[in-house]
Amino acid sequence: MTKMIRDKGFYKMVLGITIPLAIQNSLNFFVSMVDTLMLGALGQTQLTASQLANQPFFIFSLLCFGLAGGASVLAAQYWGKKDLASIRKVFSIVLWIAMGVSLVLMVLVLSFPEVAMGIYTNESDIIAEGVSYLRIIVFSYLFNGFFATLTCALRSVQIVKIAVIGNCASLATNAFLNWVLIFGNLGAPAMGIRGAALATVIARVVEFFIAFIYVFFIEKKLCFRLRHMLSFDRTLFRDFITCSIPVVINEVMWSVGTSIHSMVMGRLGSAAVSAVAVTNVVQQLATIMIFGAANAAAVVIGKIIGENDFKRAEQAAFTFRIISYLLGLFSMIVMFLLRDVVTIFYDLPAETNALVSQLMVVSGIIVFFISASATGVIGILRGGGDTKFALFAELVTLWCVSVPLGLVLGLWLHLPVVLVFGCMKLDEPIKWIICLVRMRGGKWMNNVTRDFGALEQPEPVNSAGMLD
């Protein structure tokens, strides 16, 4: 029988990764909350328009996460082998691809903003507000693509502080400029929803420059410099594609599926969209530690497998599963406690407030399974190099369960919002069961590195497994 890992060094390493990631997730949550609160003060139309206009960015951000996730599978295992040269080449590959994708999406959204909004709603006033938001926010894509991809990849080698610093600066900039530009404070024009978009663009530029300067000119552990962006290795590129394609497909198809969820809710009315937006903000708060731990699991397990210690990797996977159950229960309690409190911060109709309370109960139950399935897919399977099965688990449950139920129950049968919302979340418990079955054997553990040799040694790490 597999036992939990008990040595303190393991848990220090896990916390050394999880806590900074949780802080980063918290900052992202507060950015989202600030936007939602300030736009909610303008009215339901502006709040709904911004939520739907951000769907193309949501797909893009998950695409970047998929690219970085594929890079992280390789980088974490090369980190276990202490091969820094290969890690730098992997980073170069993923950054070039991310910037290329950013530019393509910018051109598409700038060319067809009305089409992008029309996918999610047929209400003309919401489309008009959303288009004005899109035409500004689109310029944040390139900066965010670089920052998100780089910092996500850096966590695979336990460099996490710069993401926290960048997000802190972004939050402060975004909150201040939202107050100035949305409402016209300090002599600025009251730009409304366009002010929120401009504030976000400036905040993304700030975090981009912080990461750029730190990584290319200051950081001395990985020593990733601008000249390394010109290096290219065909073998590593093929390995990157092999690892990344399943992760990218996973994230893109999941984001498209989630966008279909938004489209279904958009067809059920603006009250449904606003209620789901508020519920999602609280769920994001409740799952901060969950996704921090899931990403920590990917780093730790990838590093252990890179060291070819498969027995310890199996013990680590079991330990992370137990952690996920505890975090899931905690997050469920948070959702239940906040369900009747959160609505006081929004200027929404009574009908929408009642709907928020009902959706929070459903989301509170589902969040336990989100914890278990996220740790299984993002942490254990991907960290173990089993990206193809992780793709299978995501796609089967999303596209054979969640999306069909949403389309049938929402668009065809027009059932109540709460029932449609709950049924679209049934993919999470099913995904959890599929992951459990896969992890019963050792097929999920795959060392995907090559023996290039540890060309350079990294600096020593401290007792918490973090770089000094």
Instruction: Answer yes or no: pTM beyond 0.85.
Output: no
The per-residue pLDDT for range 274-290, each reduced to its tens digit, is 889 889 888 988 899 99
**How far apart are alpha carbons 80 and 303 in whole angstroms?**
4
In this predicted structure, the answer to whether residue 294 has a pLDDT above a threshold of 90 is yes
* Position 443 in a domain: no
Which range of 38-52, 62-76, 389-403 scores highest in mean pLDDT? It is: 389-403
* Position 454 in a domain: no
- The total number of structural domains in the chain stands at 1
Geometric angle at alpha carbon 89, from 87 and 94, rounded to 5°: 95
The per-residue pLDDT for range 82-100, each reduced to its tens digit, is 888 898 999 999 999 999 9
* Position 453 in a domain: no
Distances (CA, A) of 442 to 23, 385, 396: 33, 12, 22
| Biggest distance spanned by C-alpha atoms of the chain | 67
Structural domain harbouring 331? 8-438
* Position 460 in a domain: no
Report the pLDDT value the prediction gives residue 346, as an integer from 0 to 100.
76
* Position 285 in a domain: yes
**How far apart are alpha carbons 272 and 283 in whole angstroms?**
16
**How far apart are alpha carbons 154 and 167 in whole angstroms?**
15
The per-residue pLDDT for range 138-197, each reduced to its tens digit, is 999 999 989 988 888 788 888 888 999 998 999 899 999 999 999 999 999 999 999 999
* Position 126 in a domain: yes
Q: What is the DSSP string of 388-432?
A: HHHHHHHHHHIIIIIHHHHIIIIIIS---HHHHHHHHTTHHHHHH
User: Are residues 286 and 367 in contact, defined by beta-carbon separation less than 8 angstroms?
Assistant: yes
Instruction: Report which residue type is found at 279.
Output: T
Report the pLDDT value the prediction gives residue 466, as an integer from 0 to 100.
41
* Position 467 in a domain: no
* Position 199 in a domain: yes
User: Are residues 35 and 200 in contact, defined by beta-carbon separation less than 8 angstroms?
Assistant: yes
In this predicted structure, the answer to whether residue 362 has a pLDDT above a threshold of 60 is yes
